[in-house]
Amino acid sequence: MTPDWKTQGVRIVRSGELDTNTPQTPGMSRAAAITHAKVGANKLWAGTVVVEPAARTAAHHHGDLETVLFVIRGRARMRWGDHLEFTDEAGPGDFIYVPPYVPHQEMNATPDEPVECVVVRSGQEPIVVNLDIAEADVALENLAPIPFHPAGHHHS
């Protein structure tokens, strides 16, 4: 029997239809677009994140999930490694790939402009493993630490 492509085919999630009922953090706004509940997706999750000026995550990884970020505007700074010893920045039009289990920290590299990204993950579960990594970068001391994921949404 042929699927009903009208109801089981391509789905468009309009810009005003994103779901903000997803784990939130001070300094960051997340909105889910492609989820199992919204479109029936099983292997992918996609949405947007806006990171306010000078905001940053704690060090964490996402278990076996792969993550891709596409920067729409602003400058995103990524730190990664066992001691967050590696750093690079991405700007509008750049893609960032975060492999499974890589300890990392995301931050807004600018003090006066939000960073807007599209986020795509290889699964539906919001797996986040927060890591206790001391921050090595003294220049970051003027930034207040902002937890990435609220309590109650942690997976070990």
Q: pLDDT tens digits for 15-30?
A: 899 998 877 777 889 8
User: Is the confidence at residue 100, as pLDDT, over 80?
Assistant: yes
Q: Quick one: pLDDT at residue 54?
A: 85
Q: Is 130 left (phi over 0), alpha (psi -120 to 50) or beta?
A: beta
Q: What is the mean pLDDT of residues 124-151?
A: 60
- What mean pLDDT do residues 123-133 have? 83
The CATH fold assigned to 30-137 is Jelly Rolls (2.60.120)
Nearest to 52 by CA among 79, 28, 78: 28
Rounded mean pLDDT of 62-76? 96
Instruction: Classify the phi-psi angles of 84: left when phi > 0, otherwise alpha if psi is within -120 to 50, otherwise beta.
Output: left
Measured in degrees and rounded to the nearest 5, phi and psi for residue 115 equal: -105, 130
What are the sequence ranges of the domains in the chain?
Answer: 30-137
pLDDT at 81 over 60: yes
